[in-house]
Structure 1
Amino acid sequence: MTSEELPDWVPASGHQLRLAGIHFDAICVRGVRGEAVLHHLAEATDGHPGPVVRELSGGRWTYFLIPPGSSKEHTWPPGATCFGPAARDQYVGIPAPNGNTYPLSWRCGPPVGAEFVDPELLHEVVTAQLCLPPDS
């Protein structure tokens, strides 16, 4: 992957905060629930769900990046945090494609061009996963 294929909001090294609702919206799910959402999303997309960032420490959040403005088209269930145009001044850490980006990493690779997670599919999977009992 060359730097020309990456969107300009992906840093060349390290990681940087980006204002949600401008270049992307983000739906965040914490811990094992986020990993479960990603697992089912990857199954539904033949392993290519779109850009997903994960936090390797703390709450271990998984950030699903969707097109800017698309988060407001859905009512997201409790347990899914929406970072988008409806909220003010919410930032998401975006890692570089390579190198030391701790505590963030690309779970499914950085986006190429205008690639995003499908918000309709994500909403279906998030709603199904977050409505399950915690032991499921």
Structure 2
Amino acid sequence: MTTENLPDWVPASGHQLRLTGVHFDAIRVRGVRGEAVLHHLATLTDGLPGPVVREVAGGRWTYFLIPPGASHEFDWPPGVTCYGPSARDQYVGIPAPDGNTYPLHWRCDPPVEGKFVDPELLHVVVTAQLCREPE
């Protein structure tokens, strides 16, 4: 994979913690719900939802990276964790584009400088997925 257009906050190898609210905000959804949100988001964006990081161990969290500061423009439903600018430091692990990055990997391609998941579309999809009436 080419690293030519990658933002400087994406590490060259392994993974590193990055302070949210500086380069990006992150919306975190757990397990199969995160995968369902990603599936619907990818369908609505012709397979190009933006940068999404997946944890392949533990809670199997899915992190949707949105523009810095955008997370506080929405009321996120229960079951979603919002990582953005706040009174306390919040960090998200960011993997390198290639190599051993366990337990994190890019579920979608690593970001191109300035490209993020659309926060408004993500909010619509997350709200629809997590606030559905049980069948």
- Please tell me the TM-score bracket, short chain as reference: over 0.9
Q: Distance in 2 between matches of 1:9 and 1:69?
A: 16
The answer on whether the counterparts of 1:72 and 1:86 sit within 8 Å (CA) in structure 2 is no
**1:54-73 alignment runs, 5 A limit:** 54-73=54-73
Match of 1:127 in 2: 127
Q: Distance in 2 between matches of 1:95 and 1:87?
A: 25
The letter for the 2-side match of 1:44 is L
Match of 1:35 in 2: 35
Deviation at 1:87, TM superposition (A): 5.1
| TM-score, normalised via structure 2 length | 0.96
Q: Which runs of 5+ in 1 are unaligned?
A: none
Match of 2:45 in 1: 45
Q: Which runs of 5+ in 2 are unaligned?
A: none
Deviation at 1:53, TM superposition (A): 0.1
Q: How many residues are aligned here? A: 135
- RMSD (CA atoms): 1.2
The answer on whether the counterparts of 1:29 and 1:61 sit within 8 Å (CA) in structure 2 is yes
Does residue 85 in structure 1 map to residue 85 in structure 2? yes
Q: Distance in 2 between matches of 1:4 and 1:110?
A: 11
Q: Distance in 2 between matches of 1:62 and 1:87?
A: 23
